[in-house]
Structure 1
Amino acid sequence: MYIEQFGLDPVSKPERTATWVDLFIIWSDISLCLPSFIIGAMLIPALSWSEAVSVNFWGNLVVGVLIVLGGYYGTKTGCPAVMYGRLVFGYPLGQWFPTAFLLVSTLGWYAVMTAMTGEALDMIIKETTGFSSPLFMIILVGVLNASTAVMGYQRIRLLAWLSAPLLSLLCIWMTIKVLSLTALPSAFQYQPTGAVSYAQGMDLVIGGFISGAFVASDFSRYARSNRDSWFGTFPGAFLISFLLGLLGMLSVVATGDWNPVTVVDSFGMGIPALLFILLANWTTNHTVLYSSGLALTNALPRLGRWKNTALCGVTGIALAVAGLTGLIQSWLMLLSCIFPPLIGVVLTDFLLVRKTAVPSQAVNIPAILAVSAGTGLAAITPPQYMASGVGLFSSSSMYILIHFTLRLLNFYTKKTV
């Protein structure tokens, strides 16, 4: 049984063999997930059709660009995302700040998707066989997802290649089913409820996938070049997520239901529905757990990557059983407040401020202050403004201001002495 040996150590250049096609397949499989469908569906009927399409497009475009930029560290150094946190926030103390953010995000998503998928499979199997055990199905889904995450990148890539064509065909079939249900031109003429503003819709889309910008290096470190990362990661992260969000929107217009499980079940797709739900979850959830395992390895290096990944899997299953799916909209809004400031400081530090791959201090106080301030400002942002945008740009600006102010003070202090 092959278990990946790379943990926090860099992938050597001879072993960075992933082409743009590999990265496109991996990120397409990540994007072909139930949350992409659900987030698109949440925009209807809160927004008008044109507003919802606009939010779905621009939100996913922003995330796609941020994910590619976030992967630069991986292609440059061959190291995973948590080492990126060491660089920016300091080592050994400062790294705990981004590691905690990452674990909260990844384990939360893993729990939500595991619970949703387990409950969906239980519903379908109950209708087919009469057998029902939601607890068993949730645990089964969690174990299956954890199996490839524990094995590592090569198994993740293999499953991605095997599942991508099938998932694409199932999505096309679902689209045809949805389009056949109603006269779409008249269905689009609904009255928007206004329950979600345009800015809040953007936050829902960005909050759903913004953590991908931080963990992108976990996969880009296997890429042959930045060019391969751009041409593979961007369309996989942006285009596929946009299209599946569009399918979620169409499903609400046609059926009035936002839940992909009941929508798929209503089509009478049987086994294909079972495969779609299982694979759409698996190909996303194992990458989430893989990044979670790397984050925990940063905190508990002695256990090693695969043991930490397994430990995260057990924790995620326990959270799924506890029940987090009812909090998904609040969860997305929380992520849209805490992750953009983190991404803003990380990208600003790596691309503009220092442009180095060597941590220079135990704790980078300006970075922590900038992220904390950006998160606070995002949390109090009025609904008509984008909390994610406020958080990202305020933390970036504040970090640049603090950093260069300290450099000037240091310069004048040395000059005086």
Structure 2
Amino acid sequence: MEIEQHGLDPVPETERTATWADLFIIWGDINLCLPSFVVGALLIPALSWGEAVSVNFWGNLVVGVLIVLGGYFGTNTGYPAVIYGRKVFGYPVGQWFSTALLLVSTLGWYAVMTAMTGEALDMIIKEFTGFSSPILMIILVGILNSSTAVMGYQRIRWLDWVCTPLLSLLCVWLTFKVLGLITLPVAFQYHPTGSIGYAQGMDLVIGGFISGAFVASDFSRYARSNRDSWFGTFPGAFLVSFLLGLLGMMSVVATGDWNPVTVVQDLGMGIPALFFILMANWTTNHSVLYSSGLALTNMLPRHARWKNTFICGVAGIVLAVAGLTDVLQSWLMLLSCVFSPLIGVVLTDFLIIKRTAGHTSVNVQAVIAVGAGIFLAKMTPPQYIASAVGLVSSSLIYIILKSPASEKQTGQRKNHPIG
């Protein structure tokens, strides 16, 4: 299988052959990961069981819809997500704003998952052999994950199809093992700590996955139609993440532990646990790194996509070793406040305003709207959902700034082509 040749150029219509099943497998594997488990686990025992289930459901539902809508640009044009950023925020200057945010998010997630998986493998290998070297395991995991991301979309799709059935069976097995430890009184009568509120829980779930709404075009550009995207991307993004989050919640109730590594160890899953952790991370991380490579290609267009993906892989391993997982919850909350206004503006531009005349060097209105949305999200009281405030406020501000009266006052700038 050859290295993918498409970088920032549009995928030709003759190559847009991905079915709903392909997209379901890709997005299902992206969300079949340790962070989905951990985000669900963090809701217990902070919230009551009913509140935690509600937050897990509605938060993932919102993200699932946003990811499908975010993929419309790729389905309709064949371009990846970073070209979406060019169109909305401006080219050649404005694109750096959205591309930098995207690169920080994807590299951050890559580092978090690489670190978690490397540390997990180290714990399991130490139990069987006595040998321990977390840094070495993190580096090996990073190299493994980079291999398919560097090759490109076709290799990613191939590995996802191979791993999905096995990962699904292991998830079912883990679920039965966890349910065997739960009794109804324990599950429904524990006392929540109240360390986070309902709105903060929503921001935790949304912040964990909302960046997927911006990178969705990286994969939907290979889809046959928006219909395929809805039937494949939505259940893959929403249902898988919801179910794995639910499994994380049940694991905390059953074992009192939020860490999936120690959970599978305590349940005596042995070597299958090693395989599950490694493959669940790989099928998520190579997609995240693939989007990182496209983002860096937008900044360094003279380098081929695969070379930039390799560079991102090295950078992600460095961040993983540096210990980004130590501030995971705070980082997720920050992503929620930053990416909800960003998604609000890009979706408003593409779906509501529907600008067709190219774009300016810097779309000042878009930058202002995102900045205002981030500020309002950060200032939102804990009892309100900051991500919703950021998304809605940035959308409304952008609509106002792009109104004919406002455009007339600010004047029109010179248009440039997307590419």
How far apart in 1 are the matches of 2:227 and 2:281? 29
Which aligned pairs between 1:261-272 and structure 2 lie closer than 5 A?
261-272=261-272
How far apart in 1 are the matches of 2:186 and 2:173? 22
Match of 1:60 in 2: 60
1:362-391 per-position Cα deviation (integer Å, ceiling 9, x unaligned): 000000000001001111111101110010
Is residue 49–residue 187 contact of structure 2 (8 Å, CA) maintained in 1? no
Match of 1:398 in 2: 397
Is residue 175–residue 247 contact of structure 1 (8 Å, CA) maintained in 2? yes
How far apart in 1 are the matches of 2:141 and 2:184? 36
Match of 1:377 in 2: 376
1:3-31 per-position Cα deviation (integer Å, ceiling 9, x unaligned): 00000000000000100000000000001
Letter paired with 1:115:
A
Deviation at 1:259, TM superposition (A): 0.6
The answer on 1:241 being equivalent to 2:254 is no
Match of 1:170 in 2: 170
Match of 2:121 in 1: 121
1:121-175 per-position Cα deviation (integer Å, ceiling 9, x unaligned): 0000010111111111000000000000000000000010001001100000000
Residue ranges of structure 2 left out of the alignment (5+ in a row): 412-419
How far apart in 2 are the matches of 1:188 and 1:120? 30
Is residue 91–residue 360 contact of structure 2 (8 Å, CA) maintained in 1? yes
Letter paired with 2:282:
W
Please provide the CA RMSD for this pair: 1.1
Match of 1:12 in 2: 12
Deviation at 1:338, TM superposition (A): 0.2
The answer on 1:179 being equivalent to 2:174 is no
Letter paired with 2:218:
D
Deviation at 1:409, TM superposition (A): 3.9
Is residue 88–residue 359 contact of structure 1 (8 Å, CA) maintained in 2? no
Match of 1:131 in 2: 131
The answer on 1:363 being equivalent to 2:369 is no
Match of 1:200 in 2: 200
Which aligned pairs between 1:17-166 and structure 2 lie closer than 5 A?
17-166=17-166
Match of 1:255 in 2: 255
Deviation at 1:270, TM superposition (A): 1.0
The answer on 1:316 being equivalent to 2:316 is yes
Letter paired with 2:230:
W
Match of 1:277 in 2: 277
1:262-298 per-position Cα deviation (integer Å, ceiling 9, x unaligned): 1011111111000110011111111110000000000
How far apart in 2 are the matches of 1:359 and 1:58? 36
The answer on 1:386 being equivalent to 2:373 is no
How far apart in 2 are the matches of 1:312 and 1:127? 32
Is residue 184–residue 254 contact of structure 1 (8 Å, CA) maintained in 2? no
SS at match of 1:316: helix
Match of 1:415 in 2: none
Question: After the TM superposition, which of the residue ranges 177-186 and 7-16 deviates more from structure 2?
Answer: 177-186
Letter paired with 1:382:
P
Is residue 44–residue 252 contact of structure 1 (8 Å, CA) maintained in 2? yes
SS at match of 1:145: helix
Letter paired with 1:363:
V
TM-score, with length taken from structure 2: 0.96
Is residue 60–residue 238 contact of structure 2 (8 Å, CA) maintained in 1? yes
Identity over aligned pairs, percent = 77
Is residue 20–residue 231 contact of structure 2 (8 Å, CA) maintained in 1? yes
How far apart in 2 are the matches of 1:395 and 1:28? 29
How far apart in 2 are the matches of 1:116 and 1:407? 48
SS at match of 1:302: coil
Letter paired with 2:386:
A
Letter paired with 2:407:
R
Letter paired with 1:374:
G
Match of 2:292 in 1: 292
Letter paired with 1:300:
L
Deviation at 1:239, TM superposition (A): 0.4
Is residue 186–residue 253 contact of structure 2 (8 Å, CA) maintained in 1? no
How far apart in 2 are the matches of 1:137 and 1:318? 13
Deviation at 1:410, TM superposition (A): 7.1
Letter paired with 1:392:
L
Is residue 8–residue 294 contact of structure 1 (8 Å, CA) maintained in 2? yes
How far apart in 2 are the matches of 1:397 and 1:58? 23
How far apart in 1 are the matches of 2:324 and 2:352? 38
Is residue 156–residue 286 contact of structure 1 (8 Å, CA) maintained in 2? yes
How far apart in 2 are the matches of 1:355 and 1:69? 17
Is residue 197–residue 382 contact of structure 2 (8 Å, CA) maintained in 1? yes
Match of 2:220 in 1: 220
SS at match of 2:383: coil
Letter paired with 2:133:
S
SS at match of 2:302: helix
Is residue 111–residue 324 contact of structure 1 (8 Å, CA) maintained in 2? yes
Deviation at 1:355, TM superposition (A): 4.3
Deviation at 1:184, TM superposition (A): 3.0
How far apart in 1 are the matches of 2:340 and 2:259? 27
Is residue 119–residue 138 contact of structure 1 (8 Å, CA) maintained in 2? yes
How far apart in 2 are the matches of 1:354 and 1:410? 19
How far apart in 2 are the matches of 1:59 and 1:237? 11
User: Which runs of structure 1 show a deviation greater than 2 angstroms over 4 or more consecutive aligned residues?
Assistant: 184-187, 407-411
Is residue 378–residue 386 contact of structure 2 (8 Å, CA) maintained in 1? yes
The answer on 1:353 being equivalent to 2:353 is yes
SS at match of 1:303: coil
How far apart in 2 are the matches of 1:245 and 1:42? 9
1:35-72 per-position Cα deviation (integer Å, ceiling 9, x unaligned): 10000000001111000000000000000000000000
How far apart in 1 are the matches of 2:324 and 2:111? 7
Match of 1:329 in 2: 329
Deviation at 1:183, TM superposition (A): 1.1
